[in-house]
Amino acid sequence: MGRSRASARAAGTRFERSVADYLAATVDDRIDRRVKHGAKDRGDVGGVRAVLGGRVVIECKDVARTDLAGWVHESHVEMGNDDAVAGLVVHKRRGTADPADQYVTMTVRDLVALLVGTRPA
């Protein structure tokens, strides 16, 4: 038996909260889980900054099927909504609940934006 819609949403909320809490405790205490904004969603975790200050959008995924291209596209749409320099995806690594051991997916352009603080052309 698969997940119900309600249990999937609850799992996603727990995952977002665990990632946000871990980042707040280890990086910056202003990082927190964001409230959803529908079509103008700006990512699941807010308050994240690149090395030189540009905003970073984090999209969290706790799902059974992997869709890296779709997830990265979603993070880039949200990046535009938030006027951020980078969008990345934190996705569930099966077998561990530790937020520090989850996977992160991004483009190399997003990696450069994280490292230098501005998005390359």
- pLDDT tens for each residue of 73-92: 999 999 999 999 999 999 99
What residues contact 70, with CB distance under 8 A and at least 6 apart?
A: none
| Regions of the chain short of the pLDDT cut 50 | none
Quote the pLDDT of residue 1.
60
From CA 69, how far away is CA 64, in angstroms rounded?
15
Quote the pLDDT of residue 78.
95
Quote the pLDDT of residue 3.
73
pTM (two decimals): 0.92
The domain that contains 94 carries what CATH number?
A: 3.40.1350
Residue 60 domain flag: yes
**Number of domains comprising the chain:** 1
